[in-house]
Structure 1
Amino acid sequence: MSKADVVQRPAAALPSQFQSGALAAAPITPANVSNMTAAKIPSTTSTTATTSSSTTTASRPISISDLITSPSTAGSKRQRNEDHKSDRTKIRATRMDFAKIMDPPIVSFYGSTPIPLPSRFGHLKRRLVSGRETVLKASWDRLLAALRDEIAHIESHGTELMPMIDFSDIEDPSKVQPWSASLKRHGIGVIRGVVPPEAARAWVEETKKYLETNELELKPPPAQDPTCFDFFWTPAQVRSRAHPNVLRAQRFAMTLWKDTKDEFVATRYPITYADRIRIESAASDGIITVNGSRVAISPQDSLIAAAAATSSEEIAQVDNGSLERWEQDGYGRAGLYNSIFEGDWESYDEWDASGRVNATPDLYNGQGACSMLRLFQGIIALTEIEPGMIKILPSPKLSTVYFLLRPFFSPKEKAPEGGPSSEKWAAYLDPSNWMLDKEQSTIIHGAVAGHAQRVTSSFHPHLELKRSLIAPPTLPEGSYIIWHPDIAYQFSNTNYSTNARPTTSSGEPASTTSMLVYAPAAPLTQQNALYLARQRKAFLRGHPGPDFDSTGTGLGSEAPHTGRLTEKDIKEVGGEEALQAMGLAPWNLGKSITMTTDLKNTSPPSTSSSSSDPKDKNNTNKKDDEESSPSADGSLTPKTHAEVEVLKLANQILFPDRFDFYMPTRAPSRAASRATSPTPSRDREKDKDKGVKDSN
């Protein structure tokens, strides 16, 4: 299925204020907005000429103030020979055309009508509910009752549900226990003081200089999110990811997930995922503004911004795919949500990583859609976080179950006019008003191919986003906010229902520049190591992260930028572990655990020190749960069989010229158990064959 089948809109005539350059002079009035939101977004072909001409126009060098207040302004270009310049123009035009196809149909999220998908999604939904209609309706009724209590609980406790711990206390069991209990219950946590304040301030200034010094070919941020910039290798980002405190905090958080000894996932080994950066300023001089920031003035972006600015719709986002959560080739590969679709959502364990390791969260190669396993989404605040800057829905289980089951149900009576303020609202939300659709449509609410899941107040009324989205209090610079990967969140500049900037503790509008670095926590797995190899190449070339450059053109490259950090800088910040997290250095197995692949060996595993040489073939067995000693260079060494298996795979993937080909094996305890069981010889041989196939 083509991405354009889902996203692209038919061409339509633009409102008069967008014709002949009249946009700049046309004020945004209720009447104009009505006309704009009624019009369809132009198709890709209708905007190609405009895109091509705009991408070949040079402008003055960009400054940090231009970057923050006028994200549509492109920097001047470096001088190139004519052939090179022509090639770059063609590449840029191709990329822009592709980006138009991939742009989400944002206007659709502000109405009450969800987006129909291709017919195969109707078949998919029918397959998921077939034969389970009765149990699914019963589970839906139980869910709505539980969700009603959950929303009331969230509203009554507010920011209390966002536990906080100082980085200096993460080794103190008396402080960790209540913090981790709240994190597992509500899916959110804050670690204060991860980045020292003086370091955070220095990184912000270094990044400002980096952006002001270089002549950037700036791709404007989307109108619906005007402070999220496609930079990946600024000093603030590279130093944040490499800092030992950040890696330690990620390890601390990921080890709170359910133990998965039988899965090839190493939560004690965080790796870097190069994501974007958020830069926001209070300055505003644009005609169309969203939370004080001028957006790109193009016909399509103006339609989106105008619709957003006048909408009362609450919209939150859930990362790590959208349609993939329902598809067999997505999260269905490991059956992560099977219990939910079988009518037994109570048994779903949102903290079991085993169902996520082999899932595919990006089936459509969407620009910005994450293809790496992330156990936490997170941001590092390099400036003070004010209340309202970010809001999160603290319900990792019930909210997930709800948006997964919502596409199968419809209300008997439509939503009353006036929404939640109506006296009939409670009756509208009541389970008796909702029924399982006899004929499943192609609609999956808030989901389109190649984009994150959207949760909206119209499509998901039982989540009552105005009541359930909570914001942290004022947090100092250096704080690290993390949340469960299935949780919905919203940044202030995407909260169009209020169109207001965050305020300080005194109630005044925030006036300083804010800088937030996306820093998800990702464990080492085989799939993540494969992605890390691609990301390492992007870093060395100065190209965008692989998930953010779907065309592979390297458009927006930071390669020629003065002050771009190198491998040497990463090592100075975080040492060997930081290099390993970026795939720039192999993991040292040190005194590690290995095993034989001979399933007939019934003798207990022996203990022996293994060489750090990756080609040493004389390593012997060791107990699966024995602690290993630190390596000579101070980097972390493995202590479980699963960690050893993952590290060997990762080393072979990332450094094939230095490590022999390696085939992962079963854990010793499982092999020994099978070999010593009183199974008849024929059955034992079948088990042996099955074990070999599984290991392959």
Structure 2
Amino acid sequence: MGAGSAIPTPAIRYWKINMASEELNPHMPPRFVELKQEIASTYPDFEERVTRAWNEILEELESTTKEMIIPHVSYADLDSLTPEQVEDIRKKGCVVIKDVVDDAEVAKWREELKEFVKANPNVPGFPEGDKQFFHLYWTRSQVLARAHPNVLNATTFLNKLYHVKDDAQLDGIDLSTPLVYADRFRIRHPGIQWDAHPPHVDGGAIERWEDPTFRKCFAEILSGDWRKHDPYDLEGRVNARSSLYQRPGQATIFRTFQGWLALSETAPHQGTLKLFPDIVTSNAYSILRPFFRPKATPVSDDPLDAKNWEYDISSPDFPGIFGRDKGFVGPRPNNETHPHFRLDETMTSVPKVYPGDMVFWHCDLVHSVEKEHTGNNDSAVMYIPAVPTTPQNKEYVRKQNETFVQGITPPDFAKLTPEATYIGTGKPEDIVHPLGKHAMGFQIEVA
């Protein structure tokens, strides 16, 4: 059976996440009415300006399917890309970087991961009984991959797409010196229906509106000048509080781009990543969506018609944000809450990648994972984001370094069985390159 061929129904093993089991609550606390009112009072003529912006954004979204293409470049060409290529990456908010790591080296990492899981059958992962997404951070393969100089150079390229408008704000910020954020890996089997990762945005939920510093990142959108929004402006980013409620699994570090390293071939329809490659328009729509609602009496038969929507700040709800674990998750846009995204049409699968390729997407970009894997082989990736040097990130990496040395779960994640008890865990001495040592926190001084 060739790649992309349909799998006979009896062979499909279904795995469905019961969202109710997560205790997701779409209704927000009443106090969030005051948050909307506070935001509205911050900007002159807020209702008039955002209503005009809203109508423009909806018109822009009508044509987004025409340019839903994910850029790809070669690692060897990163230093010689044309201005047009760089601008395309910035506009789309995502990129595939080919041939970052040698195939043979990646193949060795993949086999060692499989051996690690086999040698330690009780490692945490899901789904139970057929683990494929592993809550592991310090296997030797992961440690070596994160510290690889090519991987770190690739993340530096992404970090340097950002900037600050005022040099005085550069204190403690170094976009040329990458850091490491320890995350997990997956080895996904063919035929699984995977409902765990619908369209969503990481790196802060209600915090995007609630934290005044984080909110600065979207000031142009909230003032109605959404086309001037610069998702690569560091003002607000470096000190934003993306985890006001200390919910386990909520990242506190600033990642310019999320990313993964391909450990196997993976193509569309083989359980790969899907992206909404238009960062400015998607941010603008997501940020203004809580201030508008469908009219009770539609003006036309088209539910997407701007005339069928109206300004409203009387509700505490933020569509796509859900209460959970005494905190909040999201944004999680869907066809009901964010119909103008037309997610069934616009979410774009990453083109075929090979072992050693890397995929990166902007920290605000809507992304998801394909439900089905119709290929014949495992689809394996390590999650490795781009992390710049900032005071806040340095402090996190310092704490993360301590967990690495002890072989325990990194700070942002729920505490699990110490990985030091497993066979094959990575050690500090496995990192030999100076760039990797610094990125992992062995040569960082925190003021």
TM range (shorter): 0.7 to 0.9
- Whole-angstrom distance in 2 between the partners of 1:455 and 1:443: 14
Give the match for residue 346 of structure 1: 227
SS at match of 1:406: helix
Give the match for residue 67 of structure 2: 157
What amino acid maps onto 2:398 in structure 1? A
> Do 1:282 and 1:512's aligned partners in 2 also have CA atoms closer than 8 Å?
yes
What amino acid maps onto 1:471 in structure 2? S
SS at match of 1:410: strand
Task: Give matches, 1:429-468, under 5 Å.
Answer: 429-437=304-312, 440-448=314-322, 449-468=327-346
- Whole-angstrom distance in 1 between the partners of 2:157 and 2:55: 34
Is 2:26 aligned against 1:118?
Answer: no
- Whole-angstrom distance in 2 between the partners of 1:376 and 1:241: 15
- Whole-angstrom distance in 2 between the partners of 1:353 and 1:155: 29
- Match among 190, 196, 203 for residue 102 of structure 2: 196
Is 2:378 aligned against 1:520?
Answer: no
What amino acid maps onto 1:556 in structure 2? T
Give the match for residue 685 of structure 1: none
Greater RCO, 1 or 2 (C-alpha within 8 Å, sep 6+): 2
User: What TM-score does the superposition give when structure 2 sets the normalisation length?
Assistant: 0.87
SS at match of 2:368: strand
> Do 1:456 and 1:465's aligned partners in 2 also have CA atoms closer than 8 Å?
yes
> Do 1:330 and 1:361's aligned partners in 2 also have CA atoms closer than 8 Å?
no
Is 2:124 aligned against 1:218?
Answer: yes
- Whole-angstrom distance in 1 between the partners of 2:431 and 2:310: 56
> Do 1:143 and 1:402's aligned partners in 2 also have CA atoms closer than 8 Å?
yes
Deviation at 1:133, TM superposition (A): 8.4
Deviation at 1:276, TM superposition (A): 1.5
Greater helix share, structure number: 1
Deviation at 1:372, TM superposition (A): 0.3
Give the match for residue 409 of structure 1: 292
- Whole-angstrom distance in 2 between the partners of 1:127 and 1:222: 45
Is 2:437 aligned against 1:579?
Answer: yes
- Whole-angstrom distance in 2 between the partners of 1:452 and 1:433: 25
List alignment gaps of at least 5 residues for structure 1: 1-27, 43-102, 109-114, 284-288, 292-304, 309-313, 417-422, 494-499, 502-508, 587-650, 654-661, 663-696
For residues 311-365 of structure 1, what are the alpha-carbon distances to aligned partners after superposition, in whole Å with 9 as ceiling and x for unaligned?
xxx9411010110001135614xx2222322333233211111220111111111
> Do 2:203 and 2:252's aligned partners in 1 also have CA atoms closer than 8 Å?
yes
- Whole-angstrom distance in 1 between the partners of 2:391 and 2:231: 22
For residues 459-500 of structure 1, what are the alpha-carbon distances to aligned partners after superposition, in whole Å with 9 as ceiling and x for unaligned?
11111111211112211111111111111000113xxxxxx3
Q: Structure 1 residues 259, 337: CA separation in 2 closer, same or farther (over 3 Å shift)? A: closer
Greater strand share, structure number: 2
Q: Structure 1 residues 228, 148: CA separation in 2 closer, same or farther (over 3 Å shift)? A: farther
What amino acid maps onto 1:347 in structure 2? K
Q: Structure 1 residues 366, 220: CA separation in 2 closer, same or farther (over 3 Å shift)? A: same
> Do 1:321 and 1:361's aligned partners in 2 also have CA atoms closer than 8 Å?
yes
Task: Give matches, 1:141-540, under 5 Å.
Answer: 141-152=52-63, 154-158=64-68, 161-172=69-80, 175-220=81-126, 227-259=132-164, 261-263=167-169, 264=171, 265-282=173-190, 290-291=193-194, 315-328=198-211, 331-332=214-215, 335-388=216-269, 389-413=272-296, 424=301, 427-437=302-312, 440-448=314-322, 449-493=327-371, 500-501=372-373, 509-540=374-405
List alignment gaps of at least 5 residues for structure 2: 1-12
Q: Structure 1 residues 415, 281: CA separation in 2 closer, same or farther (over 3 Å shift)? A: farther
Identity fraction in percent: 29
What amino acid maps onto 1:255 in structure 2? K
Task: Give matches, 1:485-634, under 5 Å.
Answer: 485-493=363-371, 500-501=372-373, 509-549=374-414, 554-571=415-432, 575-586=433-444
Q: Structure 1 residues 326, 227: CA separation in 2 closer, same or farther (over 3 Å shift)? A: farther
What amino acid maps onto 1:326 in structure 2? W
SS at match of 1:191: strand
- Whole-angstrom distance in 1 between the partners of 2:20 and 2:331: 21
Q: Structure 1 residues 450, 537: CA separation in 2 closer, same or farther (over 3 Å shift)? A: farther
What amino acid maps onto 1:136 in structure 2? E
| Higher mean C-alpha displacement, 244-253 vs 131-140 | 131-140
What amino acid maps onto 1:487 in structure 2? L
- Whole-angstrom distance in 2 between the partners of 1:220 and 1:128: 40
What amino acid maps onto 1:464 in structure 2? R
SS at match of 1:457: coil
Deviation at 1:126, TM superposition (A): 1.5
SS at match of 1:130: helix
Q: Structure 1 residues 567, 176: CA separation in 2 closer, same or farther (over 3 Å shift)? A: farther
Q: Rg: which structure is higher?
A: 1
SS at match of 2:168: coil
For residues 596-619 of structure 1, what are the alpha-carbon distances to aligned partners after superposition, in whole Å with 9 as ceiling and x for unaligned?
xxxxxxxxxxxxxxxxxxxxxxxx
- Whole-angstrom distance in 1 between the partners of 2:158 and 2:79: 12
Deviation at 1:576, TM superposition (A): 1.0
> Do 2:298 and 2:308's aligned partners in 1 also have CA atoms closer than 8 Å?
no
SS at match of 2:375: coil
- Whole-angstrom distance in 2 between the partners of 1:325 and 1:348: 15
Give the match for residue 601 of structure 1: none
> Do 1:210 and 1:235's aligned partners in 2 also have CA atoms closer than 8 Å?
no
- Whole-angstrom distance in 1 between the partners of 2:297 and 2:356: 46
- Whole-angstrom distance in 1 between the partners of 2:443 and 2:120: 29
- Whole-angstrom distance in 2 between the partners of 1:443 and 1:149: 25
* Paired residue total: 425
- Whole-angstrom distance in 1 between the partners of 2:232 and 2:56: 23
